[in-house]
Amino acid sequence: MAKKSFRQAINEALAQEMRRDPRVVLMGEDVAGGQGAPGEDDAWGGPLGVTKGLMPEFGRERVLDTPITESGFVGAAIGAAATGLRPVAELMFVDFMGVCFDQIFNQAAKFRYMFGGKAVTPVVIRTMYGGGFRAASQHSQCLYPLFTHIPGLKVVIPSSPYDAKGLLIQAIRDDDPVMFFEHKMMYDDMDEVPDEPYTIPFGEANLTREGDDVTVVALGRMVKIANEAADALRKQGVGCTVIDPRTTSPMDTDSILESVEETGRLVVVDEAHPRCGMAADVSALVAQEAFRALKAPIRMVTPPHTPVPFSPALEDAYLPSAARVIEAVRATMA
Amino acid sequence: MQLNREQLLAAYRMMRTIREFEDRVHVEFSAGDIPGFVHLYAGEEASAVGVCMNLDHRDKIASTHRGHGHCIAKGVDVEGMMAEIFGRGSGTCGGKGGSMHIADLEKGMMGANGIVGGGPPLICGAALTAKTLKTGGVAVAFIGDGASNQGTTMESYNLAKAWMLPAIFVVEDNGYAESTSSSWSVSGSQLGRAAGFGIPAVQVDGLDFFAIHEAAREAVERARDGGGPSLIHAKLNRYHGHFEGDAQTYRGNGEIERLRAEHDPLTHFRKRVTEAGLLEGGQLDAIDAAAKSEIDAAVAKAKSAAMPPLAELLTDVYVRY
C-alpha cells in the first residue's frame, strides 16, 4: 500500500468525492489562490497546499476562492448545504471561528431541530488547529471543545493520514454539519493510505495501543504523544491502552468505559485548554459511570490555562509531551 | 408590467391575511396565550407580498425575527404557522421553532431568524446553489435597518457581487432597530452602501405595493439573467412594537394612530385598484371577511391542538448520530 502524507490523504479524499458527486464544492480563502491576480492560477492550493491541484481539475465553479470574509462564506456554505449542494468550506485557522461562529452554532447546528426535522445541512467545515508552529496565540488554538459543546454539530479530529482520508469521506457523505479538525503540525506525517475511497464511521474509537494497566485517552496529535509514552512505558513493564475517540461528537463512550473497567486507571491527554475541555469531559464521564472501577484518581495532561505563547521555549513548555504523559501514568500507578 | 385581476386579488388577499394574522396574534399575545418573543409585521405587508409575487418554486427567501409576513407571502401554511406560534405539535416546525424560527424549506422559506443579520450569508449560499446547479432560481434576503449595520450583511453584499450571485437584498427600513432610530444608526445611506459594492439599488415607498412589485421584478429579472445581486431599500412602518409587550415610549405622540390612518398599504392598494376600476370594493370586502374567518379558524385550531409529545424533545438534533 502506498505511503501518503496527511496532506495527500485530505487532497485525495476531496478529489475522489468531487469526482463522485457533482454537488460537492470547495470554498475558502485561497483554496485555489491567484484569483484575479496576474500570476499563476492555483497559486496556493490553500495556505499549506492541501487543496493544490483541485481547481485545475474541477474549475473555479467548484473550487471557489473567497474574499477574506469568514461570516460571509461559511454562512454561504451553510445556506448552500440547506438548498442542495454538499459544500466543504475551509476555515483557514480555527482561531478565526470568532468572526463566523454565529453561522455555525446558531444557524447550521440548529436548523434541523428548530425546523422540526425538515432541514438537512450537509456541510463540512475543514479547519486547521493546534500548536507547535510558533504561530502564537491567535493561530494555535484547538477549540474543538467549543464545537463539541453544541448539539447539532459533529466534530472530527483525525490522528493519522489513514484516518484523515476515511473520516473526511465520511464527513462529506454525512447529512449533518461536520467540523473537521486538521492539526497543522501533522500535514507531513506519513502513513499507509489506500488509493480507493473508504469511510470510517463516526463514534467508533480506535485503540492504537493495548495494555492492562492504564487507559490513556488522547485526541488528534496527542495520540502520537500518547503512543510514544505507551511504547516507552511498555519497556518499563507498564501496559497502556491508548484510545483515540476519533470524533468527539458523537463520542465512543463505551470503548472508554470498557477499558477503564479493565484497567481501573485513566489518563486523558488533550491539547485543548483544560477548563471545560475534552479532558474534563472524559474525566467526568468516567467519574460518573465507572467510579467503582477506579483504583486511582484520574489524571489530565493538558496545557496550562493560558493562551498559546509564541517563544519556542515557552510553547514547548506549554504543549503536553510524552514525558508528561509518562509522569501522569506513573502517578496513577503509585 | 400590468398585473391581471387574479394577481391583484391574490396580492390583496395575501396582504390582508398577513394583517389579520398579525393583529390577531397581538390580541392573543395580550391575553397571555402565546409564549415567548413575538415580533409583528403589520404595516409592512406590501414589501413581503410585492417581492414574493415575483418569485416561484425555484426561489428561496431568508427572513428575520419579524418573519410571519414573509412566511405567508412565500406560501407557508397559515394554520401551521399559528399552531407553531402557540407551541403546538401541529405547528410548521412541530412546535420546536416558534415565531422566530418558522421555516418551510419545501416552500423555499429558509427560516425566520433570531439573529439580526443571520440571513444574508445563507442567501448567498442559496444563490450559489441556484447558480451551480443552474436551477434558474434566485435568493432573497429580507433584512431590517438594524441588520443593515451588521458585518454579515455587508460581507454578503461583497460576496454576492464577487461571485455574481442571483441574490436580492431587501432592506425593510421601518425606522426603528428595536427602539433606536435608523436615521441615527445608519451612517450614509442604504443606496450609498449598495453603490459602494457596485450593486444596483433602488429606494421605494413601502406603502406602495406597486412600487415594490416593480422594483422586485427588475431585481429578479437581473438575477435570473446572470446580472448579479440587487438591493431594494423599502421605507415602511411597523404598527406594533419591536416585540409584543414593547411600551414603545420611543415613538412620537400619536405616531402609530397617524400611520394606521394615513400610511396603510392595504388602504393605499384598495384606493389604487378601485379608482382605476381594476377591482370592485365588494371583491375586496369579501377578501377581508374571508381572511378574518381563516384566521379565526387557525387560532381556534391552534388553541385546541395538542402540545408536542415529550419524546420530541430528543428528536431531530441530527439526521443520524
- Residue positions of A annotated with a catalytic role: 139
For residue B186, the enclosing domain spans 5-307
Kindly state the average pLDDT of the residues B300-320: 97
Out of A67, A107, A110, the one facing B122 most closely (by C-beta) is A107
Asked if B320 and A103 come within 8 Å (Cβ–Cβ), the reply is: no
For the stretch A242-254, pLDDT in tens is 999 999 999 999 9
> Which three three-digit cell numbers place residue A233?
512505558
For the stretch B120-137, pLDDT in tens is 999 999 999 999 999 999
pLDDT of residue A1 exceeding 90, the answer is: no
Which pLDDT value is given to residue B226? 98
Q: Does B210 map to a domain?
A: yes
Instruction: Report how many domains make up chain B.
Output: 1
Kindly state the average pLDDT of the residues A231-252: 98
In B, minimum Cα distance to A117 occurs at B316
For the stretch A79-120, pLDDT in tens is 999 999 999 999 999 999 999 999 999 999 999 999 999 999
- Percent of chain A exceeding pLDDT 70 equals 100
Asked if B93 and A73 come within 8 Å (Cβ–Cβ), the reply is: no
3-class state of residue B106 by DSSP: helix
Distance CA(A109)–CA(A155), nearest Å, equals 12
Confidence of residue B153 (pLDDT cuts 50, 70, 90): very high
> Which three three-digit cell numbers place residue A95?
482561531
Q: Does B215 map to a domain?
A: yes
CA torsion angle for A64, A65, A70, A74 (degrees, to 10)? 10
For residue B138, give the CATH number of its domain.
3.40.50.970
Residues in chain B with CB shorter than 8 Å from the CB of A80 are 125-126, 128-129, 132
Which pLDDT value is given to residue B1? 59
In B, minimum Cα distance to A151 occurs at B317
For the stretch B29-38, pLDDT in tens is 999 999 999 9
How far B119 CA lies from chain A's nearest CA (Å)? 9
Residues in chain B with CB shorter than 8 Å from the CB of A102 are 115, 118, 152
* Domains, in order of start, for chain A: 3-192 (3.40.50.970), 206-333 (3.40.50.920)
pLDDT, averaged across chain A:
97
Residues in chain A with CB shorter than 8 Å from the CB of B321 are 154, 176, 203, 250
Q: Is A119 on the interface with B (CB under 8 A)?
A: yes
Q: Does B235 map to a domain?
A: yes
Q: How many CB atoms lie within 10 A of CB A289?
A: 15
pLDDT of residue B304 exceeding 90, the answer is: yes
How far A242 CA lies from chain B's nearest CA (Å)? 24
**Test the B interface: residue of A83, A85, A149, A248 with most B CBs within 10 Å:** A83
pLDDT of residue B318 exceeding 80, the answer is: yes
Residues 6 or more apart whose CB falls under 8 angstroms from that of B188 comprise none
Kindly state the average pLDDT of the residues A23-32: 97
How far A129 CA lies from chain B's nearest CA (Å)? 24
How far A85 CA lies from chain B's nearest CA (Å)? 6
* N-terminal to C-terminal alpha carbon distance within chain B: 51
Confidence of residue B157 (pLDDT cuts 50, 70, 90): very high
Tell me, what's the ipTM? 0.93
Asked if A113 and B91 come within 8 Å (Cβ–Cβ), the reply is: no
How far A21 CA lies from chain B's nearest CA (Å)? 12
Which pLDDT value is given to residue B2? 83
Asked if B321 and A250 come within 8 Å (Cβ–Cβ), the reply is: yes
pLDDT of residue B230 exceeding 90, the answer is: yes
- Percent of chain B exceeding pLDDT 70 equals 100
Which pLDDT value is given to residue A143? 98
Burial class (CB in 10 A: 0-12, 13-18, 19+), B256: middle
Of B223, B280, B254, B304, the residue nearest B33 (C-alpha): B304
Which pLDDT value is given to residue B5? 96
Of B303, B168, B152, B183, the residue nearest B224 (C-alpha): B168
pLDDT of residue B104 exceeding 90, the answer is: yes
Distance CA(B39)–CA(B35), nearest Å, equals 12
Q: Does B56 map to a domain?
A: yes
Residues in chain A with CB shorter than 8 Å from the CB of B158 are 67, 69, 72
Kindly state the average pLDDT of the residues A273-280: 96
Q: Is A28 on the interface with B (CB under 8 A)?
A: no
**Test the A interface: residue of B58, B159, B164, B320 with most A CBs within 10 Å:** B159
Q: Does B320 map to a domain?
A: no
φ and ψ of B227, to 5 deg? -85, 5
3-class state of residue A5 by DSSP: strand
- pTM for this predicted structure: 0.95
Q: Does B321 map to a domain?
A: no
Kindly state the average pLDDT of the residues A20-30: 97
